[in-house]
């Protein structure tokens, strides 16, 4: 077996074992013109048996004048040679950083995410593929260690993150990537800014790692494998923290409420994790939430003073009231991608086979028609002959041959799971709500559509992979919110 074929087999094995994507998927491939992304694109075009639809995506940061334009032209040519579509965008990242008071790295990262997420939505892609490799992982772990990080940060980058970004080359060192390119006779672009030691990552790459290699020549692979082990531990602890949070806090309108006596009984390490999870539940993100904020809440929980209040990022307040801790959001968030607002209660209009209680409602659907919903509005089911790939979640097409009546419409229950469209593994509905920044007070007002015990659709939020229509049949229906 040649080196090229061996590397291709290793990447294929990673894709299969990590379930990064599957045959016939549409993928957005982020390319910069560097060695890593050039090799990534070439490898993806050669994967045996996958029949992928690839879209090459390049963001011009406009930081290096003619060199930046040269990178864009190189990527365009590369995509043409691979006979795949090419999408690009120019963003003045330096100006963006100044406007938003960010450093260049953060401004560039945010611009890339917006660009790639937009392309993924437009193309109905299963994933965005990134070219991070084992050396990048080692640098990331060291950078986070130097800045100060818990084990969440030291677990490094994941092969697949919650956003649907995948990294098939994460176990491959850069030296092997460059060898692959040389043996394939492929050229790439060198970014001069990668040698600029004003950036911390570059100082780690060119100064710190060479020193560490004097102590351990295999330090890069050691750091990468250590990050993988920590990542498994982190996943276990995150599950424990979520389970403990579910039993320690209860929902109360725009807040979640915990009992001080129960929280103080937790191990300090577990308490910190539970509080982080609770804050993410309220805000939908942990951005701008630091260890300093968590330590302040822990101190408030442990104090003898029965009443106290902390102002936290994202308009959240932590309020101590005798034996209660409230984490309250001052901002009422709106549901994304839909005009139907479950945050506003509306008069209930009786539907068919409907039961309603404080814990939610249930509705059985046996045929097409219009079904009033307890929170206002209605669910409309009509026959259709089209079945486009969903690019948002405001309506879906369902093949009744695949998902026949009767259906059930009900509200969220703890433990509900689904396979989000374009993904392979099951995901907790609670995590979907957190990712979409849907507040706790709204979640139990959103209709969930089930066929049997399979969750097909979170109305206005997320479509399940099981709703994918492989071919249009004579029993297609469209389901939408009115």
Helix axes 35-46, 66-81, angle to 10 degrees: 10
DSSP reduced 3-state for 468: coil
Decide: 362 and 409 in contact? Cβ < 8 Å. yes
DSSP, residue by residue, 236-250: HHHHHHHHHHHHHEE
Give me the mean pLDDT over the 326-342 stretch. 53
Q: How far is CA 227 from CA 151, 153, 205, 468, in A?
A: 9, 9, 17, 35
Q: How many angstroms separate the CA atoms of 111 and 100, rounded?
A: 12
Which phi and psi angles does 360 have, rounded to 5°? 135, -160
Q: Is the pLDDT at 335 greater than 80, yes or no?
A: no
Domain boundaries, the chain: 3-134+156-201, 253-329, 354-481
Q: How far is CA 383 from CA 259, 387, 396, 458, in A?
A: 51, 11, 12, 20
Q: How many angstroms separate the CA atoms of 166 and 141, rounded?
A: 18
Q: What is the pLDDT of residues 430-466, one digit of tens each?
A: 888 887 777 665 788 899 999 999 999 999 899 999 9
Instruction: Count the Cβ atoms, other than its own, within 10 Å of residue 475.
Output: 12
Model confidence pTM above 0.85: no
DSSP reduced 3-state for 49: coil
CATH architecture of 253-329: 2-Layer Sandwich (3.30)
pLDDT of residue 354: 43
Question: Bigger pLDDT: 33 or 468?
Answer: 33
Q: In CATH terms, is domain 3-134+156-201 a member of 3.40.47.10? A: no
Q: What is the pLDDT of residues 177-235, one digit of tens each?
A: 999 999 999 999 998 888 888 888 999 999 999 999 999 999 999 999 999 899 889 88
Q: How many angstroms separate the CA atoms of 62 and 306, rounded?
A: 55
Q: Is the pLDDT at 334 greater than 60, yes or no?
A: no
Q: Which two tokens stand for residue 175?
A: 């030296």
Decide: 279 and 312 in contact? Cβ < 8 Å. yes
How many angstroms separate the most distant Cα atoms in the chain? Answer: 74
Burial 54-66 (b: 16+ CB within 10 A, else e): bbbbbbbbbeeee
Q: Is the pLDDT at 390 greater than 80, yes or no?
A: no
Decide: 434 and 460 in contact? Cβ < 8 Å. no
Decide: 45 and 18 in contact? Cβ < 8 Å. no
């Amino acid at each position: 077996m040649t080196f090229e074929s061996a590397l291709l087999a290793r990447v294929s094995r990673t894709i299969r074992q990590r379930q990064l994507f599957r045959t016939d998927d549409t993928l957005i491939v982020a390319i910069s013109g560097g060695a890593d992304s050039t090799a990534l694109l070439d490898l993806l075009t050669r994967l045996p048996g996958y029949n992928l639809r690839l879209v090459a995506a390049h963001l011009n940061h406009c930081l290096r004048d003619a060199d930046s334009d040269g990178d864009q032209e190189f990527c365009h040519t590369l995509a043409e040679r691979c006979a795949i579509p090419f999408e690009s965008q120019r963003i003045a990242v330096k100006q963006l950083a100044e406007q938003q008071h960010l450093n260049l790295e953060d401004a560039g990262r945010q611009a890339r995410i917006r660009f790639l997420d937009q392309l993924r939505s437009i193309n109905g892609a299963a994933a965005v593929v990134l070219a991070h490799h084992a050396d990048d992982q080692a640098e990331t772990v060291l950078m986070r260690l130097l800045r100060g990080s818990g084990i969440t940060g030291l677990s490094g980058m994941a092969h697949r993150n919650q956003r649907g970004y995948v990294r098939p080359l994460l176990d491959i060192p850069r030296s092997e990537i460059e060898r692959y390119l040389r043996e394939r006779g492929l050229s790439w672009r060198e970014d001069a800014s990668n040698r600029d030691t004003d950036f911390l990552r570059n100082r780690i790459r060119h100064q710190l790692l060479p020193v560490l290699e004097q102590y351990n020549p295999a330090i890069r692979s050691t750091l990468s494998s250590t990050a993988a082990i920590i990542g498994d531990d982190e996943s276990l602890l995150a599950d424990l923290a979520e389970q403990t949070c579910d039993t320690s806090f209860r929902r109360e309108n725009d807040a979640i409420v915990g009992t001080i006596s129960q929280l103080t009984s937790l191990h300090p390490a577990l308490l910190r994790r539970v509080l982080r999870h609770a804050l993410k539940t309220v805000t939908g993100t942990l951005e701008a939430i630091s260890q300093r904020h968590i330590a302040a809440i822990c101190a408030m929980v442990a104090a003898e003073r029965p009443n106290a209040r902390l102002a936290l990022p994202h308009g959240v307040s932590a309020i101590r009231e005798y034996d209660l801790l409230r984490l309250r959001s001052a901002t009422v968030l709106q549901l994304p991608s839909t005009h139907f607002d479950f945050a506003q209660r509306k008069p209930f209009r009786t539907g068919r086979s409907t039961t309603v209680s404080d814990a939610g409602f249930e509705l059985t659907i046996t045929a097409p028609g219009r079904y009033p919903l307890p929170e206002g509005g209605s669910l409309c089911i009509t026959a259709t002959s089209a079945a486009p790939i969903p690019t948002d979640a405001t309506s879906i097409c369902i093949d009744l041959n695949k998902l026949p009546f009767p259906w059930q419409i009900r509200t969220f229950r703890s433990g509900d799971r689904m396979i989000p469209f374009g993904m392979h593994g099951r995901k907790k509905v609670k995590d979907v709500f957190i990712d979409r920044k849907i507040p706790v007070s709204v979640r139990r007002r959103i209709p969930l559509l089930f066929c049997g015990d399979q969750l097909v659709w979170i109305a206005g939020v997320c479509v399940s992979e099981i709703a994918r229509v492989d071919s249009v049949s004579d029993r297609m229906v469209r389901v939408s919110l009115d």
